[in-house]
Amino acid sequence: MAMGSLKHVAFILFFWFPSLRAEETASSQRCDFPAIFNFGDSNSDTGCMAAAFYPEVLPYGETFFHEPVGRASDGRLMIDFIGSSTIRRQNRTVFEGGTPFTFEIQTQQFNQFKQRTEKFFNQGRRNSFERHFPRPEEFAKAIYTFDIGQNDIAAAINNVGKEDSNKVISDIVDYFANQVRNLLGLGAKTFWIHNTGPIGCLPVSMPIHNAKSNVTPVEGYTDQNGCINYQNDMAREFNKKLKNIVVKLRAEFPHASLIYVDMFSAKYDLISNANKEGFVDPSEICCGYHEDGYHLYCRNKAIIKGKEIFAGSCDDPSKYISWDGVHYTEAANRWIANKILNGSFSDPPLPIAHSCHAQ
């Protein structure tokens, strides 16, 4: 199975001062977030992994930035429309799909950033930093977004039969909860938590593109969209446990606002209605090679059936849901963002601009 090749795992700690006004409504209860701090994997990484390791090259970034900027897509990501990493430590190198930027490391980096920023302001250097860094009092007023867990599920899928998947998923969720508690202890109050998407619907997982899938899958192996059922079932189990832990955290921290966002349903909705929404078949990949049972990642070369193949990009990424078999295109990210930001897939059902009022 190709899921072991999730190479673009990274993290982002991102802050943005302009207030979230895109979702402004007539209600006077709109939140005025001075900053966004995001914790996540390559679905929301705006360049930290590329800065730490190998930088992306074209055609990454071609749609919006017209140059590679570290994002694992042709353009913008979900976090760009809102305003890679694992939850647990993985015993793998970056070349095997591992990353040193686990959720724990991200929270420690955030704490270090917070302490250093407060030190600058306390030293009377406010004028030099207030235009580029959040003021100490703004950390509590910020929104904290999370899009993480996909790589943990991928690792669990690779170890099916070797580990108790139910226990592994429980451990992942407990680890996640402890890091959220750490952030709550640092003064964070508003949380926008994405569950994980339908990992079995990633083209790199689908039998149609898997070089090891020469044998016709048994009945029930895939669903009506060609997605692998048991992989999606693991994602659903993770999401169920994640939602339960969010409910538990609400009881523990009644002063905090924790919004659970059903990214799985939003993404699966797009995949199920791809043609209706103007996209090509969701199994198709814009940047990469996926024919004759072979899969090459974006910009890779290989000799296939005696011929050198270069995995280039498609002519129009806006027609594709998948950019490189693992990550979504800008067009798909925009579609999904438009679905979730108004609260349609949230529990409680609040738009992101009102999420500070979920206590």
Active site residues: 42, 324, 327
Three-state secondary structure of the chain: CHHHHCCCCCCCCCCCCCCCCCCCCCCCCCCCCCCEEEEECCCCCCCHHHHHCCCCCCCCCCCCCCCCCCCCCCCCCHHHHHCCCCCCCCCCCHHHCCCCCCHHHHHHHHHHHHHHHHHHHHCCCHHHHCCCCCCHHHCCCCEEEEECCHHHHHHHHHCECCECHHHHHHHHHHHHHHHHHHHHHCCCCEEEEECCCCHHHCCCCCHHHCCCCCCCCCCCCECCCCCEHHHHHHHHHHHHHHHHHHHHHHHHCCCCEEEEECHHHHHHHHHHCCCCCCCCCCCCECCEEEECCEEEECCCEEEECCEEEECCCCCCHHHCCECCCCCECHHHHHHHHHHHCCCCCEECCCCHHHHHHCC
Per DSSP, what are the bridge partners of residue 144?
37, 191
Which residue shows structure tokens 């009022």? 357
Query: Other C-beta atoms within 10 Å of 177: how many?
Result: 19
The letter for the amino acid at 323 is W
CA within 13 Å, CB half, 215: 6
For residue 281, with 0-12 CB atoms within 10 Å meaning exposed, 13-18 middle and 19 or more buried, which class applies?
A: middle
